[in-house]
Amino acid sequence: MPTAGHRLWRRRPDVARGRPDDLRVVFQMAGSVGVAAHVVEEYAEEPLRWRGRDPQG
């Protein structure tokens, strides 16, 4: 699955031009960290109740 950094890299080829491959890895790692942080944040929130379902049971 592409990370946010990978999507930016593909969308903005001018960013990649003349840059070392290590920078691409940094972009990918930063995107992975961002996705992981978002997942942790979502799991920390209280789950939503579905409509039409009794919240008591």
Question: In this predicted structure, what is the pLDDT of residue 3?
Answer: 55
Q: How many domains does the chain have?
A: 1
Q: Determine, yes or no, domain membership for 52.
A: no
Cα(4)–Cα(6) distance, rounded to whole angstroms?
A: 5
Q: Give percent of the chain with pLDDT exceeding 70.
A: 44
Q: Which domain holds residue 4?
A: 1-9+23-42
What is the reported pTM?
0.40
Residue 54 included in any domain: no
Residue owning tokens 């039409």: 52
Closest CA to 5 of 27, 23, 20, 22: 27
pLDDT for 25 equals 78
Query: How buried is residue 5: exposed, middle or buried, by Cβ count under 10 Å (0-12/13-18/19+)?
Result: buried
